[in-house]
Amino acid sequence: MSTSQVEKFEFQAEIRQLLDIVIHSLYTDREIFLRELVSNAADAIEKFRHLHLTEQQVFDDRLPLEINITTDDTAKTITIQDFGVGMTRDELIQNIGTIAHSGSKAFVKALAEGARKDVNLIGQFGVGFYSAFMVAKRVKVYARSWHLEGTGHCWTSDGSGSYEIEEAEGQRRGCKIVIELKDDCHEFAGASRVKDILKRYSSFVPFPINLNGEKVNTVQALWLRSKSEIKDEEYTEFYKYQANAFDEPRLRLHFAADAPLAIHALLFVPKDNPERLGWGRIDPAVSLYCRKVLIDAKPKDLLPEWLRFLKGVIDSEDLPLNISRETLQDRSLVEKLNKIVTGRFLKFLEDEAKNRADAYNEFFKTYGLYLKEGAATDYTHRAALSKLLRMESSAFAKGEFTSFADYVSRMKDGQKEIYFLCGPNREALESSPYYEAFKLRGLEVLFLYETVDEFVMGHLREFDGKTLVAADSADVKLDDMPPPPADNALTDEQAKDLCSWLKDTLGEQVTEAKASDRLVDSPAMALAADHMSGHMRRMMKAMSEELGNEPVKVTLQINPRHPLVIGLAGLRTTKPDLASLVAGQVLDNALISAGLLDDSRPMISRLNKILEAAVK
């Protein structure tokens, strides 16, 4: 049998595109290729360690779990070898070549959109291996799988469209990657340069790394050490390594507990929220360890969904060491871990909010959406989460935050409810007719601007025993107050007449028309008859066609002190046609304020007629 038969393969199109960019347009930070290859080596060893717990028979059983790097300054090569799981021929084709990871496309897109071609991100997109081509003329991957049967293979490519695979006898288990360096990359064949890079990026790799036979990292589990011994820089370096990140963490929580479970946890909140940067939903990434052994790098249900922005490590010696990723499913232990860690993290945020309010508010601006999501969906932690929410309020200037608890502390004697208004921005809410009555009475209203807010408030329903009430809902009952003084205000009788005429004129869209003492500066306001706000209606509409076609029905409240309303009462007899046009427009204006007007186009011809009358 011939062992030297060479097979040639084309790279899949998306990978070709990726390689083209990697080779021809990435010239900064090229050193990160080493971080990526070392991280792959560490992953492969980690996989082997797991597999070794369950598989009886593995190839090359006694190899040390370590990574060996050698540089050759004469041949201008650098070699990275690991004794991990290795790859079979088919795996070589699958993992590095033919089948594109979804990440290759996403990475190319991110590069194209980014202001700066940030190659640092490559690892996060699951295409780190290809970074080798930033520095390589040619890459050779010698691979031997852990399976007893089979043989080794050598994968070779210069990155320009195709690669070759041939059998290679005499390989140790794992992978050996030999990089022939490009002419302008010879620095990476120099031991001291490589040592610096390894120190910089790979100090936390949990396996020994030897450079030309000499160990360069101190294998340590930072999270098991005591807080007082750890410097900030060490934490940051660890974060960067562990989260594949290049920013500084925004918040950090390191704690140990003994009961009810022995836990060491080190958690980070990254500076930026990638979902906000438009990268789509992120996967949870807090790794689960048992006595320094990685059990699962991205366990799905270790923490609640709304904590998916956290990075870091949870280590519990109470987990059985041979717990597999699959058996993680049925596990009261993991639930306990979840409860303890989530509880601690919430307590931590509470302390942050108290002791470092400004930093906490910044955190909230970036991550508030997750806390809102939790408050709405996670009943267990709802109470704690609702304390952590921040929002603007009529009691403070734009840009300042308050909390429910602070609102409650400012509530007037006898006030039983917490009032809020949802809308696109501060200006819109402050000038909305719904706010007028509250302003007049000196009642504080919370202002909320995010699409989810209404949904969240609807789920929270109350805080500290006080009901949350939307200021634009029909349920609002405010204390009687003498209506604000006005010249020529309509009498009760006149107002009643006008209202019944309005109801007749406006047709079935208006279920009721009545005079209101809530209004100050606006002529009218619309309250949805079905208690559904404009916001909510649009959400429902997006989900169901049927609802969208049903015209909204409202109660129309008019302001008998407003000159427009006073005028309209008279116009009714002098110019009935114009009066009904004006009435229609008053209704539409109120619907716009309420966010309830679905289509504003029919309004144009009416407005033109009214304008015509105005300029006559």
Q: Residues interacting with ligand ADP, by CB under 6 A? A: 36, 40-41, 43-44, 82, 84-87, 95-96, 126-129, 175
Encoding tokens for residue 442? 């000196």
Taking residues 399 to 438 in sequence order and writing x for each that binds Mg ion by CB under 5 A, - otherwise, the string is ----------------------------------------
| Closest distance to ligand ADP from the beta carbon of 51 (Å) | 12
Nearer to ligand ADP, 177 or 499 (CB): 177
Among 97, 128, 206, 374, binds Mg ion (CB under 5 A): 128
Given the rule CB under 5 A, which of 74-82, 126-134, 140-148, 591-599 is the region that contacts Mg ion?
A: 126-134
Report which secondary-structure segment, H or E, holds 314.
strand 311-316
Count of residues that bind Mg ion according to CB under 5 A: 2
Q: What are the tokens at 448?
A: 């909320």
SS3 assignment, position 310: coil
If residue 254 lies in a helix (H) or strand (E), which one and from where to where? Answer: strand 251-257
Comparison of 130 and 146: residue with beta carbon closer to Mg ion: 130
* Smaller CB separation from ligand ADP, 82 or 454: 82
Q: How far is the CB of 47 from ligand ADP (least distance, A)?
A: 8
Q: State phi, psi for 160 to the nearest 5 degrees.
A: -100, 45
Task: Tell me the closest approach of the beta carbon of residue 39 to Mg ion, in angstroms.
Answer: 5
Instruction: Give whichever of 79 and 415 is closer to ligand ADP, judged by the CB atom.
Output: 79
Q: Name which of Mg ion, ligand ADP, none residue 84 binds, using a CB cut-off of 5 to 8 Å depending on partner kind.
A: ligand ADP
| CA distance linking residue 298 with residue 43, whole number of Å | 13
- Name the binder of 67 from Mg ion, ligand ADP, none, CB < 5-8 A by kind: none
Is the torsion defined by CA of 135, 141, 142, 148 positive or negative?
positive
Q: Which residue(s) pair with 526 in the sheet?
A: 556
- Specify the residue, 108 or 498, whose C-beta has the smaller distance to ligand ADP: 108
Q: In this structure, are strands 445-448 and 417-422 parallel, antiparallel, or unpaired?
A: parallel
175 touches which of ligand ADP, Mg ion, none (CB within 5 to 8 A by kind)?
ligand ADP
Angle, in degrees to the nearest 10, between helices 563-574 and 492-506: 70
- CB-neighbour burial class of residue 450 (10 A; exposed 0-12, middle 13-18, buried 19+): middle
Cβ at position 96, least distance to Mg ion in Å: 10
Smallest distance, Å, CB 90 to ligand ADP?
A: 12
Please report, as a single letter, which amino acid is at residue 327.
T
Q: Would you call 137 helix, strand, or coil by DSSP?
A: strand
Cβ distance to ligand ADP smaller for residue 126 or 320: 126
In angstroms, what is the minimal distance from the CB of 91 to ligand ADP? 7
Q: Toward ligand ADP, which CB reaches closer, 128 or 595?
A: 128
Phi, psi (deg, nearest 5) at residue 557? -105, 130
Smallest distance from the beta carbon of 231 to Mg ion, in angstroms? Answer: 28
E strand spans, 145-250: 152-157, 162-168, 174-181, 209-211, 214-215
Residue in 319, 349, 333 with CA at minimum distance from that of residue 253: 349
Task: Select the binding partner of residue 44 from ligand ADP, Mg ion, none (C-beta < 5 to 8 A, by kind).
Answer: ligand ADP
Closest distance of CB 325 from ligand ADP, Å: 15
Closest CB 185 distance from ligand ADP, rounded Å: 19
Smallest gap from residue 176 Cβ to ligand ADP (A): 9
Distance from C-alpha of 596 to C-alpha of 589, rounded to nearest angstrom: 10
Q: Where are the alpha helices (DSSP H) in 26-78?
A: 32-54
Binding at 458: pick from ligand ADP, Mg ion, none (beta carbon under 5-8 Å per type): none
CB 81 → ligand ADP: shortest distance, Å? 9
Q: How far apart are the C-alpha atoms of 568 and 501, rounded to whole Å?
A: 11
Q: Which is nearer to ligand ADP, 36 or 472 (CB)?
A: 36
- Contact status, residue 445 vs residue 435, Cβ threshold 8 Å: yes
The smaller minimum CB distance to Mg ion, of residues 140 and 535, is found at 140
| Residue 98 contact partner, candidates ligand ADP, Mg ion, none, CB within 5 to 8 A by sort of partner | none
Pick between residue 145 and residue 522 the one whose CB is nearest to ligand ADP: 145
| Cα gap 448→141, rounded to integer Å | 56
Cβ neighbours of 130 (radius 10 Å) = 24
- Distance set, CA 585 to CA 30, 134, 557, 590 (Å): 64, 65, 14, 8
Cβ count within 10 A of residue 124: 20
Tell me, residue by residue from 545 to 574, as one string, x for binding to Mg ion by CB under 5 A and - for no binding. ------------------------------
- Please, what is the minimum distance in Å from the beta carbon of residue 101 to Mg ion? 10
DSSP string, 531-548: S--HHHHHHHHHH-HHHH
Which contiguous run of DSSP H or E holds residue 454? helix 453-460
299 binds Mg ion (CB under 5 A): no
Of the pair 79, 377, the CB lying nearest ligand ADP is at 79
Stretch that binds Mg ion, among 24-32, 120-128, 213-221, 276-284 (CB under 5 A): 120-128
Q: Report how far apart the first and last C-alpha atoms of the chain are (Å, whole number).
A: 102
312 binds, among Mg ion, ligand ADP, none (CB under 5 to 8 A by kind): none
Quick one: tokens of 29? Answer: 């930070």
* Of residues 126 and 161, the one with the C-beta less far from ligand ADP: 126
Residues 34-73 that bind Mg ion (CB under 5 A): 40
Residue 311 or 518: the one with the smaller Cβ distance to ligand ADP is 311
Cβ-in-10-Å burial (0-12, 13-18, 19+) of 91 comes to: middle
- Nearest-approach distance from CB 93 to Mg ion, in angstroms: 17
Name the segment binding Mg ion (CB under 5 A); options: 87-95, 122-130, 145-153, 160-168.
122-130
Min separation Cβ 27 and ligand ADP, Å: 20
Q: Two tokens at 263?
A: 């836990």
Which listed option, ligand ADP, Mg ion, none, makes contact with residue 432 (CB within 5 to 8 Å by class)?
A: none
Answer whether 216's CB lies under 8 Å from 204's CB.
Answer: no
Quick check: 103 and 66 in contact, CB under 8 A?
no
Binder of residue 82, out of Mg ion, ligand ADP, none (CB less than 5 to 8 A by kind): ligand ADP
What are the CA-CA distances from residue 560 to residues 27, 115, 149, 525 (Å)?
A: 72, 57, 91, 12
Q: Find the binding residues for Mg ion in span 329-388 (CB under 5 A).
A: none
CA triple 149-151-152, angle to 5 deg: 140
Closer of 59 and 360 to ligand ADP (Cβ):
59
Binding site for Mg ion (CB under 5 A): 40, 128
